[in-house]
């Protein structure tokens, strides 16, 4: 079997066989098939797609490219949540502690940043010493003891996805539904969770631009899961950047987070509690999540997780100890107006240019830099009022500043704010 023939077949929109998909994944993981050929196949899949059977075979091949975690030793219902990614999406850092504080067993496997979106692992590594690589024994023991663990993929767990995840980022094939679906579900199945909540983003700050694309992706993965469709046409919350988003997650667990981010955590948390049979209805589940915040139990869970995984808990207790940029620059509005649109993709790319994300897979992350928004879509601004604070370790070029102001569109009349949660799919 020649890999070039597989590329040619998909280029012609022909379905791949199970044997061809297995040949691809096995050959790539074992180093027999080079990056440039896999990039070509990913691009062919991006344009020509895969049918449901092909996607299932791809997920299966990726799942069995390495070890599968046996979580049967964890007592209770094992819960997981996955977001398809978006600008300012730090949900796991607040949601997982909330659910764990309500009695859930959150066995969470997360990823690194892709393009203009930040990865949970990159964010949590803003905390000194936090170890995202753990043995299976430690992972299971930690979830049993404190109800929460947040880890990355070991080299033996779904290695095919680790390779493809990085390659898709630098080959402009991130937003392919079969590649996203197989990536997410192979990790989730390998991690051994009983219930999964998918937060499928749509909008320009997400990988799925249109809501119908997000719905199709959700329905591709919906088996034995639930999904919510959330709007990512503007950043989630106010912070964009690793340590800045950790700070915002901490503030949310203290009850002082942004309204949109807090709403998402409460809604998603309520679904997870009902999936795990820890609440009889949404009203009870929302109340449980809210109580975990007001009582301080959710914040305590974040501290416990940090302690168990080697992190410096004092950085959670005193956020000034988290990585910080050398300079904070206030950018001000140039006129009186209403903000009609706030382009999440542009802001994500601007943060990446500061060092908050990766433009290629070898890039290092600068944990302290990013953008904190002071005004969002639908807000009224006056000339000279602060739009955002830029945390930077470099001078802001004229081009960067021009691109920042282009990220905002204005109106002379009041703009209706759009709902964050578009639909819940069961």
CA distance 17 to 20: 5
* Residue 353 a catalytic site member: no
Residue 239: closest CA among 119, 388, 353: 388
What HEC string does 34-70 produce? CHHHHHHHHHHHHHHCCCHHHHHHHHHHHHCCCECCC
Q: 176-188 as b/e, with b when 16 or more CB fall inside 10 Å?
A: bbbbbbbbbbbbb
Catalytic residue among 89, 122, 161, 366: 161
Catalytic residue among 90, 168, 215, 391: 168
* Residue 281 a catalytic site member: no
* Residue 301 a catalytic site member: no
Catalytic residue among 78, 81, 82, 215: 82
* Residue 168 a catalytic site member: yes
From the DSSP assignment, how many helices (H) and strands (E) are in the chain? 17, 13
Q: 326-338 as b/e, with b when 16 or more CB fall inside 10 Å?
A: eeeeebebeeebb
Residue 122: closest CA among 356, 361, 340: 356
Cα–Cα separations (whole angstroms), residue 386 to 59, 345, 375: 46, 21, 8
Catalytic residue among 65, 126, 176, 183: 183
Vertex 425: Cα angle to 424 and 426 (nearest 5): 120
3-state secondary structure of 386: strand
Catalytic residue among 10, 108, 112, 187: 187
* Residue 75 a catalytic site member: no
State phi, psi for 152 to the nearest 5 degrees. Answer: -100, 175
- Are the CB atoms for 233 and 87 separated by under 8 Å? no
Residue 79: closest CA among 233, 210, 193: 193
Query: Looking at the annotation, which residues are catalytic?
Result: 82, 161, 168, 183, 187
């Amino acid at each position: 079997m020649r890999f070039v023939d597989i590329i040619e077949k998909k280029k012609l929109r022909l379905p791949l066989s199970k044997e061809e998909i297995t040949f691809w994944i096995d050959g790539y993981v074992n180093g027999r098939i080079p990056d440039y050929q896999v990039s070509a196949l990913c691009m062919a899949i991006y344009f020509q797609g895969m049918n449901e059977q092909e996607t299932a075979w791809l997920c299966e091949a990726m799942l069995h490219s390495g070890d599968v975690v046996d979580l049967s030793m964890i007592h209770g219902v094992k819960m997981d949540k996955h977001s398809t990614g978006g600008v300012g999406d730090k949900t796991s850092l607040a949601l997982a502690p909330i659910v764990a504080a309500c009695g859930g067993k959150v066995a969470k496997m997360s990823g690194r940043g892709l393009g203009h979106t930040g990865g949970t692992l990159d964010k949590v590594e803003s905390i000194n010493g936090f170890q995202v690589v753990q043995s299976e024994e430690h992972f299971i023991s930690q979830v049993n003891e404190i109800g929460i663990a947040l880890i990355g993929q070991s080299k033996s767990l779904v290695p095919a996805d680790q390779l493809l995840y990085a390659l898709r980022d630098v080959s402009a094939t991130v937003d392919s539904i079969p590649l996203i679906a197989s990536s997410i579900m192979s990790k989730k199945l390998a991690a051994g969770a009983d219930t999964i909540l998918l937060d499928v983003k749509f909008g320009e700050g997400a990988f799925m631009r249109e809501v119908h694309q997000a719905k199709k992706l959700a329905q591709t993965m919906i088996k034995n899961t639930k999904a919510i469709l959330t709007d990512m046409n503007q950043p989630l919350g106010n912070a964009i950047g690793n340590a800045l988003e950790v700070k915002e997650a901490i503030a949310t667990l203290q009850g002082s987070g942004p309204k949109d981010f807090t709403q998402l955590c409460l809604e998603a948390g309520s679904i997870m509690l009902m999936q795990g049979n820890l609440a009889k209805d949404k009203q009870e589940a929302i109340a449980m999540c809210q109580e975990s915040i007001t009582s301080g139990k959710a914040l305590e869970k974040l501290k416990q997780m940090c302690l168990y995984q080697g992190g410096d808990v004092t950085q959670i207790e005193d956020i000034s100890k988290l990585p910080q940029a050398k300079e904070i620059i206030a950018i001000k509005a140039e006129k009186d107006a209403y903000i009609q649109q706030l382009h999440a993709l542009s802001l994500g790319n601007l943060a990446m240019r500061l060092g908050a994300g990766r433009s290629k897979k070898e890039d290092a992350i600068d944990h302290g830099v990013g953008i904190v928004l002071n005004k969002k879509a639908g807000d009224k601004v006056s000339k000279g009022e602060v739009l955002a604070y830029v945390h930077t370790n470099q001078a802001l070029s004229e081009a960067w500043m021009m691109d920042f102001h282009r990220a905002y569109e204005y109106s002379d009349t009041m703009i209706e704010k759009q709902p964050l949660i578009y639909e819940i799919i069961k």
